[in-house]
Structures are given as structure tokens and as C-alpha cells.
């Protein structure tokens, strides 16, 4: 299982020093104290390349619902990777946070496809063909290994979802 987060343009990932992810950091610190099995993996593919954050893309309520619907459809249709399931999903004005199970060995490809295909569909549905990207580069991943941790991460994502409504 993988806890995956990516953001819209103009917002920073959890592994970026400029981002504010105190709630997430505290959550994982508490899990560590309870001896849960997880591995936080930071995507270094983009972290050394500074991004210009000169504009922000904020998803409206309807767009958030559309992104959630698109991501669920992409995983159910096996257009992303065969056997990819979303166990928990939270889409806010500036991020996508999910817990996924996948049989695919290359998680970066799965997440890349989710980001790419969802962005294309959202941009087309908005009718703004001048908009080239909605997602910032890279993503954050934590690999979750045991059932208790999986349940806690699902609770965390669902709590975040309720908080952001």
C-alpha cells in the first residue's frame, strides 16, 4: 500500500522545506512511536530542481469532485495499471492525497499516469486549453506495510477529507 500526495501548481510537497505539512509530519511521528511498519519515500526526481511558484491553481468544489471521480474511474478501468485500487482519497483545493494498492512494480509510473490523465481530463472539462498543467512536479510517497498502519492512514485521510469540506 502507498500513501501518495501531490499538489496543484503553486503549492509545495511534504518533502519541500517551503511546504507546511505539520499535521502529516506529526501523524507519521506518532506512528513511528507506536512501532508501525512504514517507509517514507521521497521522490528526489524533482526535489533538486527549484520550481517557480509564481501562480497558484486552486481547485473549486466542483473541480475537486471531478478530480475524485476521474481518479476513481481511471483506477477502476485499469487504464492506469491493472489491479490499482484506491482505498482512501481526499481531494482539496490544492492537493490529492490517497492510499492506493497496486500490483504494478513501478509506482512512479502509476502515479505519473494518474496525474497526467487526470490533468488532461480536467483541463478539457474546464475548456481552458491555454492551461498546460494543473499538478506541480513530483509527489510524496510513504510505503505502508502492516494492517494497523493501513487502518490508521485510512482514518487520517478520511479525517482530512471531513476537515476540508
Q: What is the pLDDT along the chain (165 residues), one digit of tens a residue?
A: 899 999 998 888 776 666 667 778 778 878 876 666 555 543 434 333 444 555 788 888 988 999 999 999 999 887 777 788 999 999 999 999 999 998 877 888 899 999 999 998 888 877 765 677 889 888 888 888 888 889 999 999 998 887 765
3-state percent breakdown (helix, strand, coil) of the chain, nearest 5: 40, 20, 40
- Cα torsion 121, 123, 128, 130 to 10°: value is -120
Residue 158: count of CB within 10 angstroms of its CB: 14
Question: Which residue in 156, 143, 36, 138 sits closest to 89, CA to CA?
Answer: 156
CATH number at residue 8: 3.30.70.1290
pLDDT of residue 20: 66
Residue with cell 476521474: 70
Handedness of CA 45, 114, 4, 105 (dihedral sign): negative
What's the pLDDT score for residue 35?
A: 64
Nearest alpha-carbon partner for 112 in 88, 152, 139, 93: 139
Predicted confidence at residue 69, as pLDDT, reads 93
pLDDT computed for residue 50 by the predictor = 46
Tell me the three cell numbers of residue 112: 505519473
Residue 85 is predicted with a pLDDT of 92
Contact 97, 157 (CB under 8 A): yes
Q: Give the number of domains in the chain.
A: 1
Question: In angstroms, rounded to a whole number, what is the distance separating the alpha carbons of residues 156 and 61?
Answer: 21
pTM of the model: 0.83
CA distances from 4 to 55, 78, 107, 125 (A): 23, 18, 10, 24
Domain interval for residue 116: 2-163
Amino acid at each position: 500500500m502507498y500513501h501518495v500526495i501531490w499538489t496543484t501548481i503553486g503549492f509545495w510537497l511534504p518533502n519541500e522545506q517551503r511546504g507546511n505539512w505539520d499535521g502529516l509530519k506529526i501523524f507519521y511521528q506518532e506512528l513511528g512511536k507506536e512501532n508501525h511498519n512504514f517507509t517514507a519515500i521521497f521522490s528526489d526526481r524533482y526535489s533538486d530542481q527549484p520550481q517557480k511558484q509564481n501562480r497558484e491553481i486552486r481547485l473549486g468544489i466542483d473541480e475537486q469532485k471531478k478530480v475524485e471521480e476521474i481518479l476513481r474511474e481511471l483506477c477502476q478501468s485499469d487504464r492506469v495499471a491493472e489491479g490499482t485500487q484506491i482505498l482512501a482519497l481526499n481531494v482539496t483545493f490544492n492537493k490529492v492525497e490517497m492510499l492506493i494498492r497496486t500490483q504494478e512494480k513501478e509506482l512512479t509510473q502509476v502515479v505519473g499516469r494518474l496525474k497526467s490523465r487526470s490533468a488532461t481530463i480536467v483541463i478539457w472539462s474546464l475548456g481552458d486549453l491555454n492551461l498546460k498543467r494543473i499538478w506541480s512536479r513530483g509527489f510524496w510517497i510513504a510505503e505502508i506495510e502492516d494492517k494497523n498502519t493501513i487502518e490508521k492512514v485510512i482514518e487520517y485521510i478520511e479525517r482530512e477529507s471531513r476537515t476540508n469540506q
